[in-house]
Amino acid sequence: MSQRIVIENCAVATVDAADTEYASGHVVIAGNRIESVGAGKAPEGLTDVVRRIDASGHLVTPGLINSHHHYYQWITRGLATDHNLFDWLVALYPTWARIDEPMVRAAAQGSLAMMARGGVTTAMDHHYVFPKGSGDLSGAIIGAAREMGVRFTLARGSMDRSEKDGGLPPDFAVETLEGALAATEATVDEHHDPSFDAMTQVAVAPCSPFSVSTELLREGAELARRLGVRLHTHGSETVEEEQFCKELFGMGPTDYFESTGWLGEDVWMAHCVHMNDSDIAAFARTKTGVAHCPSSNARLAAGIARVPDMLAAGVPVGLGIDGTASNESGELHTELRNALLINRLGPHREAALNARQALRLGTYGGAQVLGRARETGSLEPGKLADLVLWNLDTLAHASIADPVTALVFGAAAPVTASFVNGEQIVENGRLLHVDEDEIARSTRTEARRLAAIAAQA
């Protein structure tokens, strides 16, 4: 019999298909699964209860799910702060091209720590910079996620279009077509777990239309489908990208992606800011997912993604932090609020998104685009026990009657407890499995080391 943890006397937002909520309810965890969710106290007569949590003053939600990120950028935060995307990439690629395994490990620890202490239970990293001789970067990232205790998807990225081919990365920062495909397949073989309660999965993830060849996109899609894993890339982030695709390929990004096999229910793309009606219709028809990154889009002046129109059309949409060189806070819970507010600046105004839609983007929507909606993203019996207790009995929140409104519209709420796979990883805002102060020291050290190396180049 699995040991049980009983959480009671809390507001509960299940984010199930009916958006079921309980003003005062309970959640019972049995092993690594949710056993029951409902109104009032937990059922009588439960055996093997090892812990009871009186969660008065709290809201319990599914854990947040980050659907787009670049961890290595943690050690280049605060640079090129007044640039658009292409200028920002040109400014930073020469520095990023000098990363190594200790840097990437420290950056991954910093990125994961910031997310986990803010309620993220499933994280992902799109890592695509693999300088020659830099070490086992994928292993370093996966190891950091394992130590943190979060559920994790590594989107094993790649680039083979450098400056000499008309791309943006320096020539020494890219892989060959054959090398990228072989290394990606090896990463899937070594690390991907297809099981229901997998803690680590791998996706195939060439970086973007302007940093990879058509052959890498096409053969990458074929590789992913042969291996049975998901596909991820950047899409339609800026007007400059659209112009690049039209000049080079004679078509816009969505048509180009479709021509290379990159639309489908096993695909999700980051940003998707500049999408016309036919683009959105194509994503809806193929069930291609979107990782919406509102803060990064604003930081790089990319624009406002048409999230309300995507949702209305049936496009799966999750939330992403994006790299912390374009979203220095590194937090996903603040993206709930930013997604709602920024989308209200668009044509739908106050009807663009509401609090519950924002929460769904950050939970079930993320599970959808990562291909894990059967397992997580909502609080339902049989799903994995990934959940967060948000303290709303605080100065910042106590006068807001509706708990979901308090969570989304209010200040960032403290995390009293966060559970992944039934194991607690956060208590009263502090990480339980790693030393936050040591991570802060190591990220500062590695950031300074990278800056010094880049300055000497």
Q: Shortest CA distance to 61 belongs to which of 411, 358, 372?
A: 358
| Average pLDDT estimate for 337-348 | 97
CATH of the domain at 330: 3.20.20.140
The angle formed by the CA atoms of residues 334, 325 and 439, to the nearest 5 degrees, is 80
pLDDT per position as a tens digit, 285-321: 999 999 999 999 999 999 999 999 999 999 999 999 9
Tell me the pLDDT of the chain averaged across its residues: 96
Domain with 36 in it: 4-62+378-431
- Neighbouring-strand partners of residue 5: 29, 51
pLDDT in tens, 355-393: 999 999 999 999 999 999 999 999 999 999 999 999 999
Tell me the C-alpha distance between 9 and 23, whole Å.
9
Q: Is 228 inside any structural domain? A: yes
- pLDDT interval class at 277 (50, 70, 90): very high
Q: What is the mean pLDDT of residues 136-150?
A: 98
Q: What is the pLDDT of residue 1?
A: 61
Is 452 a domain residue?
Answer: no
Residue of 144, 173, 133, 163 whose CA lies nearest to 74: 144
**Where in 217-366 does DSSP place strands (E)?**
231-235, 267-271, 289-292, 317-319
CB-side exposure of 112: number of CA atoms within 13 Å?
Answer: 33
What residues form DSSP beta bridges with 207?
A: none
- Per-residue pLDDT, 172: 78
The residue among 244 and 380 whose pLDDT is bigger is 380
Q: Which of 323, 343, 369 is the last residue of a domain?
A: 369
One domain, residues 55 and 88: no
- pLDDT score of 399: 98
Domain membership flag for residue 441:
no
Taking only the tens place, the pLDDT of each residue in 175-188 is 999 999 999 999 99
How many domains does the chain fold into? 2
CATH number of the domain enclosing 26: 2.30.40.10
**Quick one: what percent of the chain has pLDDT higher than 90?**
91
Domain annotation covers residue 454: no
pLDDT value at 167 more than 90? no
Q: Which two tokens stand for residue 293?
A: 């990154």
pLDDT digits (tens, 9 = 90+) for 34-92: 999 999 999 999 999 999 999 999 999 999 999 999 999 999 999 999 999 889 988 99
In a domain, 453, yes or no: no
- Give the ranges where 162-261 is alpha helix by DSSP (H): 177-191, 214-227, 239-249, 253-259
**Residue that is written with structure tokens 């990220």 in the block:** 443
Report the pLDDT value the prediction gives residue 164, as an integer from 0 to 100: 87
Residue type, 240: E
Same domain, 57 and 82: no
Residue closest to 235 by CA, chosen among 266, 267, 204, 277: 267
**Residue 82: inside a domain:** yes
State whether residue 156 is helix, strand or coil: strand
Judgement on whether residues 150 and 254 belong to the same structural domain of the protein:
yes
Instruction: Give the model's pLDDT for residue 165.
Output: 85
- Judged on CB neighbours under 10 Å (0-12, 13-18, 19+), 297 is buried
